[in-house]
Structures are given as C-alpha cells and as structure tokens.
Amino acid sequence: MQTVRVNLGPRSYDIALTSTDPAGFAAFARRAAPKAKLALVVTDANVISHASTVASGLQSVGIHSQTAVVPAGEASKSVARLEALYDALAELPADRGTLVVAVGGGVVGDLGGFAAATYNRGLPLLMVPTTLLAMVDSSVGGKTGVNHPKGKNLIGSFHQPAGVWIDTAYLASLPDREFRSGLAEVVKYGVIQDPEFFEYLEANAAAILARRPDTLVHIVARSCRLKADVVEQDEREETGLRAILNYGHTFAHGYETVGGYGAWLHGEAVAAGMVGESRLAERLGRIPVAVTDRQVRLLTAFGLPIAGKPEWATEALIDVMRRDKKSQAGKLRFVLPTRLGHVELVDGVSEDLVREVLRT
C-alpha cells in the first residue's frame, strides 16, 4: 500500500492507495475514525456490491452501518437527494461522531460529503472512490456540494475527509466511457503542474487504456500527490493558487449546465474545456499553437471530446460562465496556460474572444 499524506494541520489525512485489497479498508477506517460506532454508507445503484463490502468491513471493526442508495448519475447531486440523506442520518440516529462513508464516483462523494459537512454542523467523512475521476480529483481536497439549476456546484462547502481509501481494482469493472472521462483530469495535472507527467501519459497511452495495473497505480498516485501539493498551499481557495485546478472547468461547467446535467460526463466536459481555454491562451499570445496541439492529440487518443456540441447556444454558455465561481462582478476569469506545466488565473478575458473560440 502506498500512502499520500495531505498535510493540513489538524485536518491532515492520508490517501491510502492499493490494488486488490478489499480487506484492508476496515483497519484503515478504524484508524481514520477511532471513536466511530455508527456510519451511514452513501452509494449509488451501480456500486452496491462495493458498498456491501465496505459495510461488512465497518461491522468487523465495531462500526454498525446503514446504507443509503441514490440513483447513478449527475441528477442525484440535488437538494432533494441531500434532504433524503438528512432523513437517513436522523433515522440512525446520527450524532456528532457518526461516520459518513461515500462509496462511488464524484456524484456520491460530493453529495455524501456535503451531507457530512452540514448535518449536525459536521460529521467525519471517509471517501471510497470507485471511478478514476473520483480517485484523482473529487475525493481529494475537501470540496463538497450539489448542483442548482443556475449552475454546477453552486451550493457547497469545504469539508476535509478523515481519510481516502483507493483500491485501483475497482477500475477493472468501470465502464469504458467512465474510465476515459477520468483520464481528462489526469491529463489536466500534466498541463497545469508536471510536464514530465504529461510526457509519461503520451508515451504510455496504450498501456493506460489497457488498464495495466502498475500503470494505473502510477497515474493515480501521481495525480493525488499533485492535487495534494496544491490543496496544502491553498485549502479554501483564498490565495488563488487552488484555482489552477479549475483549468478547463469554466468552459466545462458551461457545457454541463447548458447541455443538461448528465448529457456529458464531467471529464468529457473538462477535456473539451481544456482545449477551449488553451485556444483562448493562444489568441492572447500566451502560448504557441503547439501546446494546444499536444493536448488535442492526447485527449483524442484517450477518446475524449475536444469541442462543445454545436447545438449548445453560445450566449447561454457565456451566461453560465459569468456565474462561475472565479468570475468577479460578472467579468470572466480563466485559468490559462503559459507553457506546458504552468497555468495562471487571467482576469477580464473579453467575451467576444470567448465567443470566437466557442464558434470555431
């Protein structure tokens, strides 16, 4: 087992990374939550078998649990589903030491995490991500929340987990589309922080798509370390550094909102968003075309989209971008590359320039 430590003072925690070790979870859970006696396991309809294994592990170390199952898909990141989790916690009944264990992809992690953050003003949280996207992104860093009809993740909070348990064996049964979606966030880390990692992805694309175990462990561990490095320096997005993790996401949230939550998977939207924002950087003279071209080739190799759908109205997309969390007083801000491995937050990007990119 490998361990990635996220150093946040009293909120520090470990990301345990293993492969084919379901029995190891129980001991990890007990170390992360030494006083817990009750737990609510939150999962979705696609991974009930994994949630059952987790529940058995909790029982083996003296933590009695109930399981709340939500429908799979982005539509479950809603206030209505959140209220149902509050009901389940009340029926346990949960106290301040009750553990919430999120077993699933990013939707389950965000929804279960926000329930943990807000019920009784905060419950301990364990993340057990079962998708590549959740392993490398949403399970790490403490962002939780639900969607609103006016925008993605508009209702949320920061709530660091007590621990994250990653078993890459879960990826063996992950549908191909979901797996490829997760690769978008992996590519993102190479663009924003680590050009050598980007080169590794280029050189090993075939092995990654074949889901070779050693390759999966490497890309997940490196992605978690890169994200942890950013979170440690800017836990609550107060200095602007953590904003670099949103590369591609301003366009992406527009695609997800206008297209309808669930029409595209998050990683698919991020892939197209990265290309769009890289093309913005080109037009601003910040990067040569070659930087965008390398992203396009790698994302294409991974079977990911590189542009939004033509039927998504440009003005509707820009309207969503104005409400993006990075925007200030309605003025658009984007995370844009200056070279492969480095990005910056750029203020006051012209809407006309964004329209030009969206229409190409």
DSSP character at residue 171: G
Q: Which of 246, 256, 282, 326 is catalytic?
A: 246
- Asked whether 219 and 171 are in contact (CB, 8 A), the reply is no
- ∠ CA 316-138-107, rounded to 5°: 65
- Asked whether 187 and 209 are in contact (CB, 8 A), the reply is no
Catalytic status, residue 148: no
Which residues are part of a known binding site for Zn(2+)?
185, 249, 266
Closest CA to 243 of 149, 321, 164, 327: 327
Catalytic status, residue 96: no
Which residue bears the tokens 């209220």?
83
Q: Which of 50, 81, 253, 279 is catalytic?
A: 253
Q: Which of 81, 225, 249, 326 is catalytic?
A: 249
Catalytic status, residue 147: no
Catalytic status, residue 237: yes
Q: Which of 50, 77, 81, 143 is catalytic?
A: 143
Residue type, 76: S
Q: Which of 81, 222, 266, 333 is catalytic?
A: 266
Q: Which of 242, 294, 326, 333 is catalytic?
A: 242
Q: Which of 77, 159, 180, 185 is catalytic?
A: 185
Catalytic status, residue 121: yes
207 Cβ partners below 8 Å, 6+ apart? 215
Which residues are part of a known binding site for NAD(+)?
106-110, 130-131, 143, 152
Which residues are part of a known binding site?
106-110, 130-131, 143, 152, 185, 249, 266
* Calpha distance 85→259 (Å, rounded): 27
Catalytic status, residue 227: yes
* Calpha distance 350→359 (Å, rounded): 15
Catalytic residues: 121, 143, 185, 227, 237, 242, 246, 249, 253, 266
